[in-house]
Structure 1
Amino acid sequence: MTTTNEIADKIAADHGLTKAQSKTIVEAVLAEITAAAVTGAETSLPGFGKFKVKETPAREARNPATGAMIKVAAAKKVTFTPAKSLKDALNK
């Protein structure tokens, strides 16, 4: 698993930045993706993929422990669709 700190450390080493500077950049990018998702906007990172907000409708489901029917509220979730170049890199 890779963490934001590990990503920031790698960017700092590759580009001659301090770890604090690169961590600020990584956190800013993630904050902008989050802000776009909150407004329902799609974020496209060419060569990497797209983050989209998907709305799931309310539905009924079964509790597997008791077998009782329960109502699941409508919700929004973020989906990620990888770019072709990312898919190709994974399947070499």
Structure 2
Amino acid sequence: MIELTSKQRKELEKAAHDLQPVVIVGGAGVTEGVIKMVDSSLSAHELIKIKFNEYKDEKVELTNKLCEETDATLVRLIGNVAILFREKEDEEE
């Protein structure tokens, strides 16, 4: 997990503005499947949104768990949507 400066955080928020949530946390909560989906989405996109349809009261704890499990950084938690960022390992592109 990397530490973001306020300037980096603001730039990532701008970049995420038009993104649609790629992972939705529903009635089953944060399962192994959700963690794998977040991990693969971060590998493909670097910056993703996660929407909490359920467990809204626990979204901070669940988001922190997702960040720890996937080595991602929380950019911002706005309403019931979390924005996560993880740099790609290979910088070939």
Q: Give the TM-score of the pair, scaled to structure 2.
A: 0.29
Greater RCO structure (CA 8 Å; 6+ sep): 2
Normalised by the length of structure 1, the TM-score is 0.29
| Higher alpha-carbon Rg | 1
Of Structure 1 and Structure 2, the greater strand share is in 1
